[in-house]
Amino acid sequence: MELKPISFEKWNLRILDQSLLPEKEKYLNLEDLSSIVDAIKTLKVRGAPAIGIAAAYAFVIGIREELSKGKTIEESSEMVIQNIKASRPTAVNLFNSLERMKIKITEIVGENYSHKDLLNELVKEAERIHEEDVQASRKMAINAFPLLKHVRVVLTHCNTGALATGGLGTALYVIRHLYKARKDLLVLVTETRPLLQGSRLTAWELEKYRIPYRVIVDSAAASAMEVFDVDAVLVGADRVALNGDTANKIGTFGLAASAKLQNIPFYVVCPFTSIDSQTPGGKLIKIEIRSESEIAYFNGKKLVPDPNKCWNPAFDVTPGECVSAIITDRGVLKPPYEEAILRFLGR
């Protein structure tokens, strides 16, 4: 069974609203730029690859809206790009997708295309970005298998499955691939505070795939590694710097440090497009700080005395020295990461 959490149909971006899972499975048809940007901001669609795909389709819809108002292609492109960029600042896939769409416009405009032809070509480019992500997922799973074929217990963080991508996944799809090879696999799923993407989303996917799992609170992870004799930790990435520093869901750094102390391999699984070779190190990655209300309230109930006294970073940065390998669709990168990344880029 394959999920289809994001698709483009009849000028609507159709997404599975992840903010309602696991209680309710509801698909939304988003037909204008503002609704897509809002869906990205409010995590109705989330996960670096999925955000990149949504951004590409949002670009097409936004260009269509602006052209219908009589704006020039150049004016439309700049306005739409700035609007989408403001939605989430950390995931590099969003910026990569927008850059590709901008380049495509430049190529098309020189050919004297009509607006209709322009939009059709932009849709095709967005669909290519979507399909490339699906193919990248398959390649990552294949590339990961030699490293992980011995694994019996794996720990994962946040959600890195179909919901976070174009329909298959990064780290969670690798886990699915492993499960086909050995049915005794057990997956430990951190609940992933404050929005519970592990317990709400990853556990929901694992139920769908009928893969054995246990949900643990984030603060139990270090103990769980010892008690369950964890063989490997697998996580995704929103951005990887040239030196291997990795920005991922808040809590990843702690997992990596615990894994290193216990001599457990810690693997980052991401498409090569998530690697930002223009950023030398993790300290230069902009980390999104989200609303205090995500910590202060749950289902409308106040959890802390003063909601203003909260700090809510969406991501942290794991030093490259804590990462055993970065598994990508192009191959497995091992330290020293700068040399490995530049080699893959042919530099």
Q: Annotated catalytic sites, by residue? A: 238
Token match 């300290």: residue? Answer: 283
* CA dihedral angle for residue 238, residue 132, residue 340, residue 342, rounded to 10 degrees: -100
CA–CA gap between residue 321 and residue 333 (Å, rounded): 13
Residue 187 in contact with residue 206, Cβ under 8 Å? yes
What are the residues whose beta carbons fall under 8 Å from the beta carbon of 299, sequence distance 6 or more? none
CA distances for 12 relative to 8, 35, 114, 118, 220, angstroms = 6, 11, 21, 17, 42
CA distance 153 to 52: 31
Q: β-pairing, 301-302 with 186-190?
A: unpaired
